[in-house]
Structures are given as structure tokens and as C-alpha cells.
Amino acid sequence: MIYNIPFITTAILAVIGLYAVIFKRNLIKIAIGITILESAVNLSLIAIGYRKGGVAPIYTNLPPNVDIPHGMVLPVPQALTLTSIVIGVATLALILAFAMKIYKHYGSLDSHSRRLKE
Amino acid sequence: MNIMLHMPALLIVLPLLAAFVTPLIDKLSRKARNAFVIAIVVIEEIMMLFFAFHIFSGNIAIYTMGSSEPTKLVTEAAVPIRIVLEVDAMSAFMGIISATVAMAAAIYSISFVEESKGKGKFYTLLLIMLAGMIGMEFTGDLFNMFVFLEILSISSCALIAYRNSDGNAVEGAFKYMVVSNIAALLVLFSIALLYSQYDLLNIAALSKVISYTELDKVALVLLVTSFAMKAGSVPMHYWVPDGYSPAPASITAMLVSATQASLYALFRVSFTLYGKVITASYIGVFLIILGLLSMFIGVTMALSQKDIKRLMAYHSVSQTGYMLLGVGIGLYLLNTSDFNTYGIKAMEGGIFHIINNAMYKGLLFLTAGAIFYRLKTRNLNEMGGLAHSMKYTTLFFIIGALAIAGIPPFNGFASKLLIYEAAYRVSPILSIVAMIVSILTLASFVKVFHSAFMGAKIYEVEEAPKSMLIGMAILAAVIIILSIFPGLVVDKIVAPAAHALANWQVYAGGV
């Protein structure tokens, strides 16, 4: 049970993120929703790569008596997560820039106040 | 050094490096920058054609990134490690489409896009978009596909909002950004599901071991829905008109082939990645239903539009429906005895429609852009009599409109006929709907032609500038070539692509 907690957290975060994207009207809150969804995906990747009692997979700096490779956590999902975080920063910056531009044009961030809902 | 071996990497690297050199050349002179960008897209197109015909003659190209012998896999490990590019006939087919449309769009943009707004950066983003599309089509690695998907969506969102003094452009970009971001995150999540079970990211290696567990089914559903979202099929089509209409016309033409890159990813996942196990035909039925809905809703929404680019954007939703219908029928019949008789024909029709749609839809958006360039309006009610002054634009519009409506002898007719015939064998209702949609398409383009080009001369305007005419002429020439030799094109280009999709073993055997 205790090892399922990361996956349960992933599910909860994903639901919160999707809820914010679908039902919230403020554009900044939509951006926040996307970020939460992204955290959920990143957390699930890290949780997949974890092994009970595993150490960091750095061959040159291993503690003694570590079983290679089963005593180490998987490095690939961590690499994927790093890439995904970098991409996430870029997309978040772009979304917030769009939100700022929309605010300059219409003086509001409410998605229902204009023809945005069309 | 045999340059053909390094082609898969070169074709991605060339536009990517050129993208970051462009702003530097822009500092020196604008003419040099224009010449540089044109040279890059033309070289890309020539390289792509040579490489594609090498692939169509029955080869599969493998390229291991960062290896001293890139055409061989790294053999110390039991599974393929490092990023492996894998190009088969379907990938090369999509690559030709992307490179051709990008060439036309880049040439068109020289006089279309205003100099005042940082055009060097415009070209940078355009080249990154091209690199993203080709990367998505050439990669043999799921995570790499996700990365190129994000590169493509970030650059295309920035380009939709290029005229950011127009509020609609920023709104359209915001919507597209939200849709594509959620789609990309769902793709990443399904990659995580697959990796957790098989410890693999390579598509070919995964397709050999995939066993269709419950988690695999979840991943398949997530992948199919997210790529269908990005391709603009019906339940998630709302970003298409909002994103297409305010973007610069050359970018709209590029966006059409960008949605088709997502469509390629959808087909690659459902045919190749799950090719071994996809016997239950639910996904095929799902694609057929999505296709019918997209066709019908797209065209009925288009009929009532007054904005010329919005109208064409709804038509591209409707045309996406044809491709989904054709390839969906193929997926529905995959692994049955009917597949070899008419299932493969339906797929050929759907795939042929991809190249046709990219060309005529691109051409129509470019003519709409030419009208906007001269009249500064997209409202059909304010246009009229343009055939008097913009003769070449009128001619190109007629070619595009006849092709999209499926009037023989144009290429739209050839691909639609293949789809009708095969769809009739599955259920007559499918081909009846497809034909009604085709008639409605003709009706709405007759409307556009009448209100924009016919009538008395209202405006004293000149013909569009030369570079825009050259951009349109390239696409029109491709349409005419496809129209004159449909049989040859189907045999030499489309059939290898359809067979590459249908036989997952060939793709899997490459690695």
C-alpha cells in the first residue's frame, strides 16, 4: 500500500489539473492547471523508476555492497523527467506571455468575457 | 562518406541549425537573410526528394544518433539504446509533404510578412517548425517523438500569435497551446505506462514485445485521443478555426501539414506500435466515427462562415475526416481476409488524401492570404470582382477549389474515389456521407468564388507580389502533377507508404 502512494498522488494531481483546465475561467488558473498536470506526469515517471532502497545510479560513486544493477534506481525515467521539466518551463512561459497579451488587449483574464468561448 | 546514410539526421539538423543562424544573418542584411532561408528550404526539398526515392525503392533507413557507425545499432545491449531514427516509406512520404509545403510557405512569406515585426525571428520559428515536423516523422523513438511534438507546438503557437497586435491571434494561440500541451502531457504519460512495463522506448522494439495488457490499452487510448486532438478531429476541433484564421497565411499552410504530422503519429502508433496485437477493431470503428463526424460537422460549420480563412479552416477539419475514414477502414479490417482486397485500397485513398489535402489546402490558404494582403479584410461580404485585377490568384484559387471539391480530373477526385469504393464495401452509408460532404464542399467553394472573384470591379488593386505568386505556383504545380499522373503516384509513392503502415513486421525488423 505504502508504495502505491506516489501513484495515488499522481492520479489526484492529474484530476486537479484537468479540473482547473476545463472548469476554471481565469487564464492564469488554466496555466496553473496545466502545470499541475505536468507535475503529475513527472511524478509518475519518477515513481516508475524508483526501486525500494535503491541508490543513485552513478557507477563511480557507489556506496559499498550495492547490487549492480538491481540496487540502483532507473536512470532513464529521471532523464525523461528532466527533459520534460525543461519543455514545461518553455511552454509555461509562452502561455503566460499569451495571457499577458490577452489582458493588454481586453483588460480581463476571464475566458467568458469575450468571444474566447466561441 | 556516403551521404545517403546520414540523410535522416541531416534532414532534421539542416533546418534546426539554419534556424539559429538566421537571426545572425538578419543583423547583416535582410536580402541576405531571405536568400539564406530560401536556399535552406530548397536544399531541404531536394535532399528530401532524393532520400525519399531511395526509401521508396524498398529500403528502410536506420540512424543511431551519436554512434560511430550510425547505420548499425549499438550492440552491447540487448535492447536498442540511444535515439534511433527510423525512416520507412510512410515517414519519407510525410517528409516530402512537410518539405514541399515549407518551401512554398517560406518563399511566399518574403513579401507577405511585414518587415517591421522582427521577421528574422519569424523565419527562425518557421525553420524550427519544419525541423519539428520532420523530426516527428523520422524518429523511431517514442520519447523523441514527444520532444519533437513539443518543439512543433511551441513554434507553431508562437507563429499563430505573430501578429500580436490582433487580439484574436493571441486568443487562437492560447487555445492551441492549451490543447497541444494537454495532448503532449497525455502522450508523455502513456510513454511512462509503456516504459514501466517493457523498459523500452524504441517503437520497433516495443512493437515486437507488446502484449496488450490493460495498461497497454490505457496507453493506446491516451495516445489515439491526444494525437486526434492535435490533428483537429471533431470533438476537439474548436482550436482549428481560431488558430488558423488569424495566423499569417503561409503559417496556416504550414499548420495544415503540422496537423498531418500528428495524424502520422496517430497512424504510426495504431498500426506499427500496436500492429501485433490490434485485432479487436474498436479503434478502427472509433477512427471511422471520428472521421464521419469531422467530415460532416466541419463542412456544415463551413457553409455559414463569412470569414474566408475561418471557412477554409472548417474545411480542413472536414478533410481530416476523409483521412481518418480511409485509414480507419484499413485499421478496422487489419488482420482480416478483407484487408488485402479493399482494406489496403481504403488506406491508399486515405494516405493519398494526406498529400492532396496538404497541397490544395495550402494553396487555398495562400490565395486567401493574397486577397488579405491586397484588401486588408477577410470578410467575404466586403470582397468582389477580384478576378478583374488578380488574374493569377483567381486561377490558383480555381485549381485549389476544384481539387478540394473532388472534380475530375483533379487529384482530390482520385483519392476520394478510392475512399468511396472501399467505404461502400464496408457500409454504403459511409460513402453516401462522404459524397454528400464532397457536394457541400463544392457548394461552399462556389460561394467563396462567387463572392470574392465574380461580379463588377469594385476595388482598384494590383496582382499579388511575385514571391507570393511563386509560392502559390509551386503548390499548384504539384497539384497538377498529382492530377495528371494519379495512377503513377499511387503505385510509386502511396502504395509503398500504405504497405509500410500495414506491415508492422517490416518496421520492427529494421531494428
C-alpha cell at B370: 493574397
Q: In this predicted model, what pLDDT tens digit does every residue of A53-81 receive, in sequence order?
A: 788 888 787 787 777 777 788 888 999 99
Contact call for A41 and B164, based on CB within 8 A: no
Mean pLDDT, chain A, whole residue set: 87
Residue of B nearest to A30 (CA): B178
Distance between CA atoms of residues B452 and B364, nearest Å? 13
Q: How many helices (H) and strands (E) does chain B have?
A: 20, 2
Please determine, for residue A5, whether its predicted confidence score (pLDDT) is greater than 50.
Answer: yes
Q: State how far the alpha carbon of B43 is from the alpha carbons of B18, B46, B62, B220, B251, in Å.
A: 12, 5, 22, 37, 20
| Long-range Cβ contacts of B174-177 (<8 Å, 24+ apart) | B174/A27, B174/A95, B174/A98, B174/A99, B174/A102, B175/A116, B175/B238, B175/B239, B175/B242, B175/B243, B176/B239, B176/B242, B176/B243, B177/A91, B177/A94, B177/A95, B177/A98, B177/B153
Cell 495504431 locates to B270
SS3 B379: strand
Q: In this predicted model, what pLDDT tens digit does every residue of B221-268 receive, in sequence order?
A: 999 999 999 998 888 888 999 999 999 999 999 999 999 999 999 999
Contact call for A94 and B192, based on CB within 8 A: no
Distance between CA atoms of residues A49 and A77, nearest Å? 6
Q: For residue B388, which phi and psi values (nearest 5 degrees)?
A: -70, -40
Residue B470's pLDDT is what? 94
Question: Does B157 or B509 have the greater pLDDT score?
Answer: B157
- Is residue B29 classed exposed, middle or buried when 0-12, 13-18 and 19+ CB atoms within 10 A define those classes? exposed
Is B321 in contact with B292 (CB distance < 8 Å)? yes
Rounded to the nearest 10°, the torsion over CA B481, B483, B485, B487 is: 140
Strands (E) located in B67-114: 84-87
DSSP β-bridge partners for residue B233: none
Percentage of chain B beyond pLDDT 90 is 61
Question: Does B78 or B142 have the greater pLDDT score?
Answer: B142
Query: Domain coordinates of chain A in residue numbers?
Result: 2-56+68-117
Apex B269 CA angle, B267 and B271, nearest 5: 60
B194 to chain A nearest CA, in Å? Answer: 11
- List, in sequence order, the alpha helices (H) in chain A: 5-23, 27-49, 75-106
**A92-107 average pLDDT score:** 92
Find the range with the poorest average confidence among A4-8, B152-156, B359-363. A4-8
Is B147 in contact with B196 (CB distance < 8 Å)? no
Which architecture characterizes domain A2-56+68-117 according to CATH? Answer: Orthogonal Bundle (1.10)
Mean pLDDT, chain B, whole residue set: 90
Instruction: Give the model's confidence band at B341: pLDDT under 50 very low, under 70 low, under 90 confident, else very high.
Output: confident
C-alpha cell at B205: 522494439
Instruction: Give the model's confidence band at B75: pLDDT under 50 very low, under 70 low, under 90 confident, else very high.
Output: low
Is B185 in contact with A38 (CB distance < 8 Å)? yes
Cβ-based neighbour number of residue A43 at 10 Å: 18
Contact call for B178 and A118, based on CB within 8 A: no
**Which residues touch B1 (CB under 8 Å, ≥6 apart)?**
none
C-alpha cell at B234: 471533431
Contact call for B157 and A94, based on CB within 8 A: yes
Domain count for chain B, please give it. Answer: 1
Please determine, for residue A117, whether its predicted confidence score (pLDDT) is greater than 50.
Answer: no
Residue A118's pLDDT is what? 43
DSSP β-bridge partners for residue B377: none
Q: In this predicted model, what pLDDT tens digit does every residue of B184-223 receive, in sequence order?
A: 999 999 999 999 898 889 998 899 888 888 899 999 999 9
Distance between CA atoms of residues A95 and B494, nearest Å? 39
Q: Give me the interface pTM, i.e. the ipTM.
A: 0.93
Is B17 in contact with B37 (CB distance < 8 Å)? no
Residue of A nearest to B154 (CA): A91
Please determine, for residue B117, whether its predicted confidence score (pLDDT) is greater than 80.
Answer: no
Distance between CA atoms of residues B181 and B188, nearest Å? 10
Contacts of B143 in chain A (CB under 8 A): 80, 83
Is B14 in contact with B43 (CB distance < 8 Å)? yes
Strands (E) located in B81-158: 84-87
Residue of A nearest to B148 (CA): A87
Contact call for A106 and B167, based on CB within 8 A: yes
SS3 A72: strand
Is A19 in contact with A100 (CB distance < 8 Å)? no
- Residues from A contacting B (CB-CB < 8 Å) are 14, 18, 21, 27, 30, 34, 37-38, 41, 44-45, 48, 74, 76-77, 80, 83-84, 87, 90-91, 94-95, 98-99, 101-102, 105-106, 114, 116, 118
Q: B364: domain range? A: 3-509
Distance between CA atoms of residues B225 and B189, nearest Å? 13
